[in-house]
Amino acid sequence: MRLHTSFRRILGAAAAALLLPAAAARADQPKIRVGLMLPYSGTYTSLGVNITNGFKLAIAEHGGKLGGRAIEYFTVDDESDPAKAPDNANKLIKRDHVDVLVGTVHSGVALAMAKMAKDTGTLLIVPNAGAGDITGPLCAPNIFRTSFTMWQSGYAMGKEALREGKKTAVTFTWKYAAGEESVDAFKEAFEAGGGKVLKMMALPFPQVEFQSYLTEIAALKPDMVYSFFSGGGAVKYVKDYAAAGLKAHIPLYGPGFLTDGTLEGQGEAAQGILTTLHYGDGLDNPKDKAFRAAYLKAYGSEPDVFSVQGYDSGQLLAAGVEAVKGDISKRKELIAAMEHAKIDSPRGPMTLSRSHNPVNNIYLRKVVGKENKVIGIAAPALADPGRGCKM
């Protein structure tokens, strides 16, 4: 009798399922829980906001759903503080039980997140931080990056500086993984081609008291300066550099972070600065045009490289989740689809290296007005060597 009843119940449920339209049948599927761990305060605030905007735009373009499942966001302000990173990541992993962690901007924080992702198996998409170790010794099947390594833009600029005829340089940056790796990569390429780095200077993150260093640069008289700063700190640095009277005779170069998303604040002081980056203004590809129009419409502001990286993180997640039709328990298939994704990025075509880092052009850009105008390709389809990655 009991068997008979449950059989009827099953039959009833199957019949009901058959009658339901597909969308309604999926409606009770649990949402995919996305944890955004990004800076929403401090010098990198605008980077965190623009990554968030870009990510959400990509999801919105998929109707707010991936593989038929709605997306639910959980957000934590990481304050670009590595000391708080384990607690902050735990809030998302252990408290909110996110399916995927997206973050972050600051390399010190992202390194801690990558360690936790490796330990817990949580799917991690890094939408900015450029520390090499994330896709080097810490690389793992569940760790992806849609942005860059510091090596890529730094190395490309070392070569470009040689082409510009520079023989001596001083480097100046924030003293933490991102800054150190950026200037090291510049030095690697510059000195391999016969250039000489006279001095490497650094101040603690996120300090902005640049004056004494600028005085020293004036005394050293290098052919050029190579600097990594970003966000609010970059706005002040570029203005201080010009105000110190250095700009006219010791040109300032850097990775594109120095002038991306900052030109409104830097104004005249930034004009003419040459940088290297995987994105820029005037790329003139259909995807970039569509992306920029959609972003402007959604947020009322122009996108920058950080918006692009957020957008591509959304696109990468979509490629994975749609390949498994929303069934993210199919880990192997999900990861394989992400690994082999050919992302139609606003930056141009983007694929991932064996260590899950983007392979893309590194453009040469020049600040003209409010734009980082692309004036050439400093390094085509440049892949980070992924040193130390075993997977």
Of 185 and 323, nearer to ligand PHB (C-beta) is 185
Q: Residue 295 half-sphere exposure, CB side, CA atoms within 13 Å?
A: 26
Of 129 and 324, nearer to ligand PHB (C-beta) is 129
46 touches ligand PHB by CB under 6 A: no
Close Cβ partners of 211 (under 8 Å, ≥ 6 residues apart): 240, 244
85 touches ligand PHB by CB under 6 A: no
106 touches ligand PHB by CB under 6 A: yes
Residue from 76, 93, 126, 129 in contact with ligand PHB (CB under 6 A): 129
As measured in angstroms, the least distance from the Cβ of 131 to ligand PHB is 6
Strand partners, 76: 37
Q: How many residues lie near ligand PHB (CB under 6 A)?
A: 10
Q: How far apart are CA 191 and CA 170, in angstroms?
A: 12
Tell me which residues in 219-248 interact with ligand PHB (CB under 6 A): 230
Query: Which helix (H) or strand (E) segment is 351 a member of?
Result: strand 348-352
Say what angle helices 177-192 and 150-163 make with each other, to 10 degrees.
Answer: 30
Of 195 and 309, nearer to ligand PHB (C-beta) is 309
Residue from 67, 130, 222, 326 in contact with ligand PHB (CB under 6 A): 130
Strand partners, 364: 276, 376
173 touches ligand PHB by CB under 6 A: no
Of 256 and 326, nearer to ligand PHB (C-beta) is 256
178 touches ligand PHB by CB under 6 A: yes
Of 153, 145, 150, 106, whose CA–CA distance to 127 is shortest?
145
As measured in angstroms, the least distance from the Cβ of 118 to ligand PHB is 18
End-to-end CA distance of the chain: 55
As measured in angstroms, the least distance from the Cβ of 152 to ligand PHB is 11
Q: How many CB atoms lie within 10 A of CB 388?
A: 13
> Which residue carries 């389809």 as its tokens?
381
325-329: long-range contacts, CB 8 A cutoff, minimum separation 24: 325/67, 325/68, 326/26, 326/29, 326/32, 326/66, 326/67, 326/68, 326/69, 327/67, 328/32, 328/67, 328/99
As measured in angstroms, the least distance from the Cβ of 163 to ligand PHB is 24
Which residue stretch of 102-110, 271-279, 327-335, 356-364 sits at the interface with ligand PHB (rule: CB under 6 A)? Answer: 102-110
Residue from 105, 183, 308, 362 in contact with ligand PHB (CB under 6 A): 105
As measured in angstroms, the least distance from the Cβ of 222 to ligand PHB is 23
Residue from 210, 213, 237, 257 in contact with ligand PHB (CB under 6 A): 257
38 touches ligand PHB by CB under 6 A: no
Q: How far apart are CA 164 and CA 153, in angstroms?
A: 16
159 touches ligand PHB by CB under 6 A: no
Q: Please answer whether residues 139 and 389 qualify as being in contact, where contact means their C-beta atoms are separated by less than 8 angstroms.
A: yes
107 touches ligand PHB by CB under 6 A: yes
Of 210 and 335, nearer to ligand PHB (C-beta) is 210
Q: Residue 311 half-sphere exposure, CB side, CA atoms within 13 Å?
A: 25
Q: What is the binding site for ligand PHB (CB under 6 A)?
A: 105-107, 128-131, 178, 230, 257
